[in-house]
Structure 1
């Protein structure tokens, strides 16, 4: 009964924290019942079974996903089996180390193991870092600032470390010193977050994000140049309105305007005129059917246009699009990316290292996943030291600073115009993470591998030594 209760309790917490309910605090507690079980006398197979039940239960939000119909059942089953299996291995590994090593090594075993597995899973995933534990705590910017040092996987590690510290505190008295170390590390993370959030960013730019759902719908029906031109004229009027409110950087949604090759110059002309007349830099989302493409145009006040093609099309939904291969770097501390590109830390880091302080992100969500998907972009800003303006149709329209705080936020209306205009502090540019990349999760992997291989070898060596030498 205790085993089942632990599984259900953990599963509920994973579900509420990682799903669409956004109860962020529970992610720091979700592994505790399973680790508490692992450090006791419960049989190993029961601990593994409870872990599998918990993770599968926590993943129940997937049935609510608007992307579910795009995932072949065999692929979905394979992903769940791999994720569940590796999570069970991580829990077993914690038990393995606890039975063979000091409490201090036990403290680090589970965080290092799961951080490594999460990194390796997402390194190969066509959906990037979707599903990471780290995203579950984005509502608490003070706890995620370590991402600027070691990337999002530092946040995953800290979540697991905190849970492991609590489990060890509840289970064994001899864990006192290790528990103290765990709490000290977590307190240091909190202190670092407080200090970083208190650091003022002196450079501020007035920005705007615009989504017009009526215009978006019209753009997908536009098959002629006049019809496509009507959409860009609508956005040009709205950009001018944002400029009258002081905006100097404006972003429109992904695919929000139609491109027809034969009339591209005519279609874009109202946006170029708006940029020239108002001094606004525009990041405008476009789509085209012939050829199939999802791209953004960066338009500067002097009329220059730079095209960026989405580098990571959504599997199953955008298979007709040819992925782009060109950087979104625009110069002068600015960059543009599109929606799902922000799910891939390495893609964004390759631009951030050039000195990005502000990034425009045309995007598109599917209603229920607006928060869950949008906050992944915010994490990239913390990692890379840049602020973000994101305009998503059927999702969230927001501006966030380089510390992950939402300066302005609106849910886009089902029809008509949704606009935010805000004074946005610009980021300070490259962080330690942009310079060292994924060194931290690789170190976690090396540590876990050395621990797993070294402990049995050490025990064999100890058994062979004569008693007098011990």
Structure 2
């Protein structure tokens, strides 16, 4: 209902107060949509745009702290669902999920506390800057990187939108999704198009501009030019099953692997090595110039590692290829009792780098981390670089001057495809092609715009080989030059909005409400 002010002007419509039953429906539906936007194998891109709208509506129309607890529970449910669908649920990962859920609840809490104290344009920025800032903090402070908590990974197949990460990093997509949610809530709160038209029009124009610019990048600046044939090989499933059976006989854990009788494990290990060497020879004969083995493609005691490397060097010389090998080395040193490393061998048999994994998986791997320096080698096929599997979930270390990034990996059935899709973002961010050779997962090659050049699911074939013609020259992106500037600006904006909100009185429409009462949020834009 409209009322007349003392100045003789008609006041704009106030926010509609929802029934309690509707609020709980928003929470339930928002949580359900959130389960389908967690960076897992059952993601739906549209769900990432829907759930923040519903959960923000729930947050804005109830008590502050009880609402925050319910939203924390919703975020915990989403995190646990991701762990369950990815077959990673354990006490250690559950504790991490609870902590990450708390961080991802903060944007809703900040919005609820500040939206009634700021001018309309500033109020609309609280939620998006806080979401982008929270995603960035996860990559800085947590051991999970972008494995969980990044909305950008849910948009993997939307290539025009995905091009934004070449400017802002993955945080720009999180910002846009959260900004859309804030604007949608403004339109929801106000019964008048006049009250919300400026905010809706601005947000729609920016989204359209981003998608059009991304489409133009795909159409007018394709990743063309000369290509190189790259083959990724994994040992045949039969020999891998035999190796697993041999390892299953070791009952004392990693500490016992070095001392276990060679007659038990040795033949199975050698069979895997021979199989990989034969596959390498086959793919080189077919025209591959670069061959990639998966993470820990060969497993060996430290005493036998020189022999493994010598065999790979000989194969690279004989086939005249660049050969990237992944080795899992068993040692007697606690607590890791091993190393996880890769080596690049050139056509002369020279080892160009030895790299150790910088980010062991929390709660799963005990390897001593490497120094995180990503190796880069100049070759006739462009500048090659290398990280191992989970390292690619950390955007900061992936900004390197390379043309082709090699990512030997080792996943599992429930998580392989989702994890490989996440790696595609690194290619778009940094402007290089990316070849991810995944044992027990999905191997894929991407160009620097995120197009899939080839992919193979380990579980659909007995012979493991993936061949792709990969662009030899990358490009320099804005994100490559400015790094995480956008994310830092979002954190700075959150700090400024907090100061402004603390210093401001509540707007006249909000006076009389208490911190634990339903808010009267987001007045319409003038």
TM-score by length of 2: 0.80
Kept after mapping to 2: 8 A contact 1:215/1:416: no
In structure 2, what is the Cα distance between the partners aligned to 1:114 and 1:335?
31
In structure 1, what is the Cα distance between the partners aligned to 2:495 and 2:127?
12
Judged with a 3 Å threshold, the aligned counterparts in structure 2 of structure 1 residues 297 and 182 are, in CA distance, closer, same or farther, namely: same
Post-superposition shift, 1:226? 6.2
Post-superposition shift, 1:37? 3.8
Q: Which runs of 5+ in 1 are unaligned?
A: 463-470
Q: Which residue in the other structure is 1:313 paired with?
A: 360
* Structure possessing the higher relative contact order (Cα contacts under 8 Å, 6 or more residues apart): 2
* SS of equivalent to 2:407: strand
1:101 to 118, 141, 153: 118
2:173 to 147, 155, 168: 155
Q: Which residue in the other structure is 1:404 paired with?
A: 450
In structure 1, what is the Cα distance between the partners aligned to 2:450 and 2:180?
21
Q: Which residue in the other structure is 2:79 paired with?
A: 59
In structure 1, what is the Cα distance between the partners aligned to 2:354 and 2:329?
13
Q: Which residue in the other structure is 2:210 paired with?
A: 189
Asked if 1:143 corresponds to 2:166, the answer is no
Q: Which residue in the other structure is 2:310 paired with?
A: 269
Q: Which has the higher helix share?
A: 1
Asked if 1:211 corresponds to 2:234, the answer is yes
In structure 2, what is the Cα distance between the partners aligned to 1:67 and 1:59?
11
Judged with a 3 Å threshold, the aligned counterparts in structure 2 of structure 1 residues 35 and 342 are, in CA distance, closer, same or farther, namely: same
* SS of equivalent to 1:24: coil
Kept after mapping to 2: 8 A contact 1:400/1:408: yes
In structure 2, what is the Cα distance between the partners aligned to 1:296 and 1:130?
22
Post-superposition shift, 1:205? 1.6
Post-superposition shift, 1:340? 1.0
In structure 2, what is the Cα distance between the partners aligned to 1:360 and 1:259?
22
In structure 2, what is the Cα distance between the partners aligned to 1:258 and 1:45?
52
Q: Which residue in the other structure is 1:11 paired with?
A: 31
2:187 to 169, 181, 188: 169
In structure 2, what is the Cα distance between the partners aligned to 1:400 and 1:167?
37
Post-superposition shift, 1:218? 5.1
In structure 1, what is the Cα distance between the partners aligned to 2:234 and 2:343?
16
Aligned residues: 452
1:22 to 5, 20, 43: 43
Asked if 1:344 corresponds to 2:394, the answer is yes
Deviations 1:79-137 (A, max 9, x none): 44443334443223223443233332222210101211222233111222221222121
* SS of equivalent to 1:398: strand
Q: Which residue in the other structure is 2:132 paired with?
A: 115
TM-score by length of 1: 0.88
- Higher mean alpha-carbon deviation, 110-119 vs 56-65, is at 56-65
Post-superposition shift, 1:8? 1.0
* SS of equivalent to 2:233: strand
- Higher mean alpha-carbon deviation, 171-180 vs 88-97, is at 88-97
2:441 to 395, 416, 427: 395
Pairs within 5 Å for 1:221-370: 221=246, 223=262, 228-290=269-331, 292-305=338-351, 306-319=353-366, 321-325=367-371, 327-332=373-378, 333-349=383-399, 352=400, 355-370=401-416
Kept after mapping to 1: 8 A contact 2:357/2:372: no
2:201 to 180, 192, 198: 180
Post-superposition shift, 1:301? 0.9
Deviations 1:200-233 (A, max 9, x none): 2223221111122344455564847665444322
Kept after mapping to 2: 8 A contact 1:3/1:37: yes
Post-superposition shift, 1:445? 1.0
Q: Which residue in the other structure is 1:467 paired with?
A: none
Point out the structure with max Rg over C-alpha. 2
Judged with a 3 Å threshold, the aligned counterparts in structure 2 of structure 1 residues 226 and 49 are, in CA distance, closer, same or farther, namely: closer
Judged with a 3 Å threshold, the aligned counterparts in structure 2 of structure 1 residues 53 and 85 are, in CA distance, closer, same or farther, namely: same
Q: Which runs of 5+ in 2 are unaligned?
A: 1-20, 248-261, 333-337, 509-526
Kept after mapping to 1: 8 A contact 2:407/2:436: yes
Post-superposition shift, 1:6? 0.4
Kept after mapping to 2: 8 A contact 1:97/1:105: no
In structure 1, what is the Cα distance between the partners aligned to 2:305 and 2:44?
46
Judged with a 3 Å threshold, the aligned counterparts in structure 2 of structure 1 residues 42 and 324 are, in CA distance, closer, same or farther, namely: closer
In structure 2, what is the Cα distance between the partners aligned to 1:254 and 1:122?
23
Post-superposition shift, 1:375? 2.0
Q: Which residue in the other structure is 2:16 paired with?
A: none
Q: Which residue in the other structure is 1:465 paired with?
A: none
* SS of equivalent to 1:164: helix
In structure 1, what is the Cα distance between the partners aligned to 2:460 and 2:364?
22
Kept after mapping to 1: 8 A contact 2:386/2:406: yes
